[in-house]
Amino acid sequence: MYISFPNLLAINGGTPVRETLLPYGHQWIDRSDINAVMDVLSSEWLTTGPLVNKFETCFSEFTNSKNAVAVSSGTAALHSAIFAAGIKKGDEVIVPAITFVATANCVLYLGGIPVFADIEPDTLLIDPDVIQSLITPKTKAIIAMDYAGQPCDYGALRDIAEDHDLILIADACHSLGGKHHNKMVGSLADLNVFSFHPVKAITTGEGGMITTDNDELAKKMRIFRNHGISTDHRERQIKGSWNYEMIELGFNYRITDFQCALGISQLKKLPRWIERRNFIALEYINCLKELPEIVPLITKSNNINAYHLFVIILESGKLENQRDYIFKALRAEGIGVNVHYSPVYYHPYYQISLKYSRGMCPKAENIFPRLLSLPIYPAMQERDLNDVRTALRKVTDAVL
């Protein structure tokens, strides 16, 4: 039953629903994770050791991919993937308008040109039909971003990529543990990129991974993450050699063994965490049935959503133009809502330094002012869910 909340909003001096802020995302670290890290800290190898290879093996098995390459962050993973794809100065790469800036920035790192594609309004995923109109002789790759945890339409995207001889890259930083047509995220594109930041599906503190079935691309990324040097320290020690050769201009994107130990421990728990995220999402969806002015994103029937984010759209009427006020009001109530994301080309660097202009992606621009992300992470308790539901109703009651 819908409940009215006549009491004063916290933003106006009333009593908040929560005394402490409920974050939109949060890691879950238990004793087994701590023990795994402690074991490595007492071992011979802190970095470039055996746990890196073990984490990569576990990850490739989980994602049903042939190769996994571990790096120091999700951004490092994107940069490594773009390098492996052979992007050079002047090459165009099609990217979604609604995404974190790193998805497009990685193209700039190698002198490429991000070309922004509009999105599907009900999923916020890149629209394959729009991509077709953006392809030119300079186009070399497509980066599809699995927004909020739902895989993109990789069947349609792969057809486009194959028709135009393009590399297909999945920015899967939101979707680890998800599936598309019963295929695991991580096995859907030529290169699949992941982040292990604390708010992601699993964490290594900071860290990232790229999966691929292409051995040559995997080899290029392993060299790229190690300054462009063809062997790492452990390989040289096993061979009893000091000699190494720098064959590319690479970066120090190595990940540590204690991060990888944490990743291995976390990966074991991921399936039940994805179940928990889906449970919380369903609770939200049921709650929103009583608030017709707020609409959740849809999940397509052929997808299993990893629900990194739970995104709502302020659909119509008074709420439509009140996003910023509702954001502040919910924060004042102790609910750590967030906004994911403004169109990348809205950022000052893209506007001022790169001369991108507004108006390129009208669907993304129309929906951005109406987006909010609600808290969702596996460690949320029933009382946390109740606080979000209570605050949502309290705030919308007052605005309406």
State mean pLDDT over 150-157.
98
> CATH top-level class for 31-267?
alpha beta
Kindly state the percentage of the chain with pLDDT values over 90. Answer: 92
Question: The tokens 């009333």 sit on which residue?
Answer: 14
Encode pLDDT of 212-227 as tens digits. Answer: 999 999 999 999 999 9
C-alpha to C-alpha distance for 169 and 145, rounded to whole angstroms: 9
The answer to whether residue 318 is catalytic is no
C-alpha to C-alpha distance for 306 and 256, rounded to whole angstroms: 26
Q: Which superfamily is assigned to 10-27+270-399 in CATH?
A: Aspartate Aminotransferase, domain 1 (3.90.1150.10)
C-alpha to C-alpha distance for 90 and 112, rounded to whole angstroms: 5
Catalytic-labelled residue, pool 140, 179, 200, 220: 200
State mean pLDDT over 239-262.
92
- How would DSSP label each residue in 328-346? HHHHHTTB--B----BGGG
Please give the pLDDT value at position 6: 56
Q: Which residues pair with 12 in a beta bridge?
A: none
C-alpha to C-alpha distance for 55 and 164, rounded to whole angstroms: 35
Q: Which residues pair with 186 in a beta bridge?
A: none
Q: Which residues pair with 338 in a beta bridge?
A: 373
Angle at 322 between CA 318 and CA 323, to 5 degrees: 130
Please give the pLDDT value at position 4: 47
Lowest mean pLDDT among 2-11, 122-131, 353-362: 2-11
State mean pLDDT over 370-399.
97
C-alpha to C-alpha distance for 33 and 27, rounded to whole angstroms: 11
Domain segments of the chain: what residues? 10-27+270-399, 31-267
Encode pLDDT of 271-315 as tens digits. Answer: 999 999 999 999 999 999 999 899 999 999 999 999 999 999 998
Q: Which residues pair with 116 in a beta bridge?
A: 95
Encode pLDDT of 175-205 as tens digits. Answer: 999 999 999 999 999 999 999 999 999 999 9
Residue 262 pLDDT more than 50? Answer: yes
Q: Which residues pair with 208 in a beta bridge?
A: 71, 195
